[in-house]
C-alpha cells in the first residue's frame, strides 16, 4: 500500500520499524508491567514485537507514515501471531512470578479473538516526538481502506485505555477485556465489516 503518506515497510528497515514501536509503547501499562525496568523493556520488547506481529513484514502489511515515525502492523485474514515464538519470548524474558498471569491473559485474548475471517491490527504506534500530527490516524485510515475493500471486520486489542476513544471514532466498539492477576487489562475492540 502506498498513498503518498503511507508506505509498505521493506525488509531493509524492519529494525527501524520495530524501534519505533518500542519507543511508542514505552509508557503503556501492560508492556511496563511485563518489563518494569527500562533495561528489561529496551532489551526484550522488540523481540516480543517480532514474535507477536512480525508476520506483517513478511506478508506486506507492515505500513509506515512519515519515514517510519509511525508504524502499523496489520495481520490479514489467515495470518496470526507466531504463538510458539510469543510463548518462547515471554518465557525467556518475563519474570517467573509474572508468567502465570501473563499466559492466563494471553489465553483470554486468544479465546476472545474472532474465528471468522478478519483483519487484525496487532500493533500501531507513533514515536512520541511525532504524536499529535495525525500520523496514527493516517495509518488507521489507510489500513481500514484495505479492510473495507475486503468487506471484512477489523479487530484489535489495546493496553492503553486512552486509545479507546480514538478507535471508537473509526467505528470500533469494545468487545471485551482480558486480564489475569496483577496484569493490567487489555481491551479488545471490533469494527464490523463495511
- Domains and their CATH numbers in the chain: 6-191 (3.40.630.30)
Collapsing DSSP to helix, strand or coil, 2 comes out as strand
DSSP the chain: -BSSSEEEPPGGGHHHHHHHHHHHTTT-HHHHHHS-SHHHHHHHHHHHHHHHHTHHHHHT-EEEETTTTEEEEEE-TT----HHHHHHHHHHHS-HHHHHHHHHHHHHHHHHS--SS-EEEEEEEE-GGGTTSSHHHHHHHHHHHHHHHTT--EEEEES-GGGHHHHHHTT-EEEEEE--TTSPPEEEEEE---
What's the pLDDT score for residue 128? 87
**The three three-digit cell numbers of residue 40, written as one number:** 528489561
What's the pLDDT score for residue 43? 97
Cβ burial of 39 (10 Å; 0-12, 13-18, 19+) is: exposed
**What pLDDT, in 10s, does the model give residues 12-48?**
899 999 999 999 999 999 999 999 999 999 999 999 9
Q: How far apart are CA 115 and CA 118, in angstroms?
A: 8
What's the pLDDT score for residue 10? 86
Strands (E), the chain: 6-8, 62-65, 70-75, 119-126, 154-158, 173-178, 186-191
Ramachandran angles phi, psi of 169, nearest 5°:
-60, -25
Q: What is the Cβ-side half-sphere exposure of residue 163, based on CA atoms within 13 angstroms?
A: 23
What's the pLDDT score for residue 1? 47
- What global pTM score does this model have? 0.94
What's the pLDDT score for residue 2? 43
Q: What is the Cβ-side half-sphere exposure of residue 161, based on CA atoms within 13 angstroms?
A: 5
Query: Along the 194 residues of the chain, how does pLDDT read in single tens digits?
Result: 444 589 999 888 999 999 999 999 999 999 999 999 999 999 999 999 999 999 999 999 999 998 899 999 999 999 999 999 999 999 999 999 999 999 999 999 999 999 999 999 999 999 988 988 999 999 999 999 999 999 999 999 999 999 999 999 999 999 999 999 999 999 999 999 99
Amino acid at each position: 500500500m502506498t498513498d503518498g503518506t503511507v508506505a509498505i515497510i521493506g525488509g531493509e528497515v524492519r529494525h527501524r520499524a520495530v524501534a519505533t514501536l518500542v519507543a511508542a509503547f514505552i509508557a503503556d501499562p501492560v508492556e511496563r508491567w511485563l518489563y518494569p525496568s527500562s533495561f528489561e523493556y529496551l532489551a526484550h520488547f522488540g523481540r516480543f514485537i517480532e514474535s507477536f506481529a512480525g508476520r506483517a513484514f513478511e506478508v506486506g502489511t507492515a505500513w509506515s507514515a512519515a519515514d517510519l515515525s509511525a508504524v502499523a502492523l496489520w495481520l490479514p485474514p489467515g495470518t496470526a501471531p507466531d504463538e510458539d515464538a510469543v510463548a518462547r519470548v515471554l518465557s525467556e524474558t518475563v519474570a517467573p512470578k509474572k508468567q502465570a498471569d501473563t499466559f492466563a491473559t494471553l489465553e483470554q485474548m486468544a479465546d476472545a479473538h474472532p474465528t471468522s475471517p478478519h483483519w487484525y491490527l496487532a500493533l500501531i504506534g507513533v514515536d512520541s516526538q511525532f504524536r499529535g500530527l495525525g500520523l496514527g490516524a493516517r495509518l488507521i485510515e489507510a489500513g481500514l481502506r484495505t479492510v473495507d475493500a475486503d468487506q471484512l471486520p477489523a479487530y484489535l486489542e489495546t493496553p492503553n485505555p486512552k486509545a479507546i476513544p480514538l478507535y471508537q471514532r473509526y467505528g470500533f466498539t469494545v468487545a471485551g477485556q482480558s486480564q489475569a492477576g496483577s496484569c493490567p487489562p487489555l481491551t479488545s475492540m471490533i469494527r464490523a465489516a463495511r
